[in-house]
Amino acid sequence: MRKIIYILIGFLVIFSFFGCQKREKKELVIWHWMADRQKAFEELAKKYEEEHGLKVRFELFFPPEAYSQKIQAAAGAGDLPDLFGILGEKKIFASFIKGGYVEDLTPYLEENNGEWKKRFIKISLEFNEFKKNNPYGVKEGIYAIPIDMMSIQFLVNKKMLKEIGGEIPSTWQEFIALARKTKERGKWGFICGWGESWFIYCLVTNYAFNIMGKEKFFSTLKGEVPYTDPDWIRVFKLFKELKEADILFPGIVTLSNKEAEQFFAQEKALFSFNGSWGINTYFQINPDLEYDTLPPPPVNEKFPVSIWAGAGSSFVVNKNSPLKEEAIDFLKWLTQKEQQIFLIQHTHNLPAIKGCKDKLDKNLVKFLKNLECATHPRIWPINENPRVVEAINTGVQKILVGEAKPEEVAEEIEEVKREVVKEK
């Protein structure tokens, strides 16, 4: 008996040695976090190998938080792969660039009269661009290539809308009225994955643009306007209205994005607020779902309302990679029409390049609407400190569960803002 155990142990130890790193022949390694795309990526890799003879390996690290930790650790050890994505706000992107890990891709985009650059929808490239004199201290240029786009808009279930005899709302008041009507019929008015707090900030900024205009919004970020300003309180009051209208899906403040998508697909709510990536889930759960997109119904007409749109996922090129040229070639190939169409058919995400509109799923096209009022923190001249953003998100959640009044929340946020400004 003992001998068998010893042999087993020895066998397993030796076997575990086989997991050692082997020196592969030339191979392009790409790290990412997109669980829904690994299969599509692998097929593309195979195709590329057939066409160009270079092996490409996509490695998936999920969940996204673990992915962030992985690239942090790898950066510290100089172990980053040839191509990888960077999650998080622009500040993180900037620190990777300043650390010397990211290649400046502007020269490649500009060569041949800007042939590569011209392929892209403008806003998707702007997402990854650092302009002159940016507050991050990064040399101007474009540092990442988008492989798809996304936009975040309001959604409405067309079937349910017809049932209550309503039209697509063009003002906030109409929206609340319609949502209330749905509630009377036993379904809910509005659902969103507000357990993921950044989503709250998205809607807050969309309405901030509507109520006070871009300029005043950026002034607040600079610290020139306090969060206790009446315009800001009006923004927060909107969430109070949502709560008091009793149209919110139960437990909305702990719902994950995926859960909200599932329930919307199961037709439990009339309106939702989500990004174009949700199409995949909607399709999987309920292929017959009829829905349309609309911009957030504005509160007043003074300033336009905004939506967030920009690059969905982007890849950067590792500056220190021995296969840099090959990596850039691969990126160019990946953003060609044929490959982009393959990707969007597989993942139902918006393409990053122009000229694919006719190939898009009918629901996907709807997310291309309203791009005139598109914006995104990534292209803003200044970004709010994450601690203040956290305070805003927590504060709005408190309003949504009825724990605090908008004025109190505004006070708390302003307090955090003052602290942060002082620390500078």
Partner 1 sequence: MRYSLKEEIKNFSFVLPALSIFFFFYIIPFIYTFFLALHQGSGLSSLKFVGLENFKRILSPQGTAIIVIFIGGILVVFSFWFKKKIKNRFLKIVKTASIIMGIICIIYGIKELGEVLSSGWVIDKEWWASVGRSFYITLWALTFQNFLAFALALCVDKAIRTGYIYRAIFFLLPVISEIIFGLLIRSLLLPYPGVLAHFLKKLGLENLVRDWLNDPRYALTTLAFVHCWRGFGWGFVILLAGLQTIPQTLYEAARIDGAGAWQRFIKITLPLMLPVIVLVVILTILGTVQVIGLPMVLTRGGPAGKTTVSVLRIYNDLKNYHAGYASCEGIVLGIILITLSFTLIKISNRLKKV
Partner 2 sequence: MHTFLILVAISCIFPFIWMINSSLKPNSEFLSDYGFRLPHKIMWKNYYIAFCEGKLGIYFLNSIIYTFVSVVGIVLVASLAGYSLSRLQFRGKNFIFHLFLAAMMIPTPAGFVPLYVLLKAIGLLNTRIGYCLAMINVGLSLSIYLYKTFFDNLPRDLEDAARIDGCNRLRIWWHVILPLAKPATAVVVIFNALNVWNEFVLALVIFSNRNLMPLQVGLKEFASSPVGLTNYTALLAGLTIASLPIIIIYLIMQKHIIKGITAGALVG
- Residue 16 or 113: which CB sits closer to partner 1? 16
**Region near partner 1 per CB under 8 A, out of 224-232, 239-247, 278-286, 391-399:** 391-399
403 binds, among partner 1, partner 2, none (CB under 5 to 8 A by kind): partner 1
Tokens of 110: 């500009």
- Residue 258 or 387: which CB sits closer to partner 2? 258
How near is the Cβ of 313 to partner 2 at its closest, in Å? 15
- Residue 43 or 79: which CB sits closer to partner 2? 79
* Distance separating alpha carbons of residues 325 and 42, to the nearest angstrom: 21
By CB under 8 A, name the one of 130, 217, 397, 410 that touches partner 1.
397
Q: Which residues contact 104 (CB under 8 A, 6 or more apart)?
A: 139, 141, 142, 143
By CB under 8 A, name the one of 154, 207, 209, 263 that touches partner 1.
263
**Region near partner 1 per CB under 8 A, out of 27-35, 97-105, 112-120, 212-220:** 97-105
Nearest alpha-carbon partner for 87 in 77, 104, 75, 79: 75
How near is the Cβ of 264 to partner 2 at its closest, in Å? 14
* Distance separating alpha carbons of residues 147 and 39, to the nearest angstrom: 16
By CB under 8 A, name the one of 171, 254, 284, 345 that touches partner 1.
254
79 scored as a contact of partner 1 (CB under 8 A): no
Nearest alpha-carbon partner for 109 in 97, 90, 124, 125: 125
394 scored as a contact of partner 1 (CB under 8 A): yes
How near is the Cβ of 190 to partner 2 at its closest, in Å? 22
* Distance separating alpha carbons of residues 222 and 11, to the nearest angstrom: 64
* Site track 402-421 with partner 1 (rule: CB under 8 A), x = hit: -x---------------x--
75 scored as a contact of partner 1 (CB under 8 A): yes
Quick check: 151 and 309 in contact, CB under 8 A?
yes
How near is the Cβ of 282 to partner 1 at its closest, in Å? 18
How near is the Cβ of 76 to partner 1 at its closest, in Å? 4
Quick check: 352 and 104 in contact, CB under 8 A?
no
* Distance separating alpha carbons of residues 36 and 346, to the nearest angstrom: 9
Nearest alpha-carbon partner for 58 in 297, 327, 269: 327
* Distance separating alpha carbons of residues 356 and 279, to the nearest angstrom: 17
* Single-letter residue type at 275: G
Buried b (16+ CB within 10 A) or exposed e, 182-206: bbeeebbbbbbbbbbbebbbbbbbb
* Distance separating alpha carbons of residues 6 and 200, to the nearest angstrom: 58
264 scored as a contact of partner 1 (CB under 8 A): no
How near is the Cβ of 346 to partner 1 at its closest, in Å? 27
173 binds, among partner 2, partner 1, none (CB under 5 to 8 A by kind): none
The residues of the shown chain that bind partner 2, judged by CB under 8 A, are 9, 12-13, 15-21, 29, 31, 35-36, 38, 59-63, 66-67, 69-70, 72-74, 76-79, 81, 258, 262, 280-281, 284-285
320 scored as a contact of partner 1 (CB under 8 A): no
Tokens of 411: 């006070």
* Distance separating alpha carbons of residues 83 and 57, to the nearest angstrom: 10
100 scored as a contact of partner 1 (CB under 8 A): yes
* Single-letter residue type at 244: E
How near is the Cβ of 351 to partner 1 at its closest, in Å? 29
How near is the Cβ of 35 to partner 2 at its closest, in Å? 4
3-state helix, strand, coil in the chain (%, to 5): 50, 15, 35
How near is the Cβ of 92 to partner 2 at its closest, in Å? 15
- Residue 108 or 199: which CB sits closer to partner 1? 199
> Exposed/middle/buried for 157, CB within 10 Å: 0-12, 13-18, 19+?
buried
- Residue 159 or 258: which CB sits closer to partner 2? 258
List contacts with partner 1 (CB under 8 A). Answer: 65, 68-69, 72-73, 75-76, 88, 91-92, 95-96, 98-101, 195-196, 249-254, 256, 263, 268, 386, 394-395, 397-398, 400-401, 403, 419
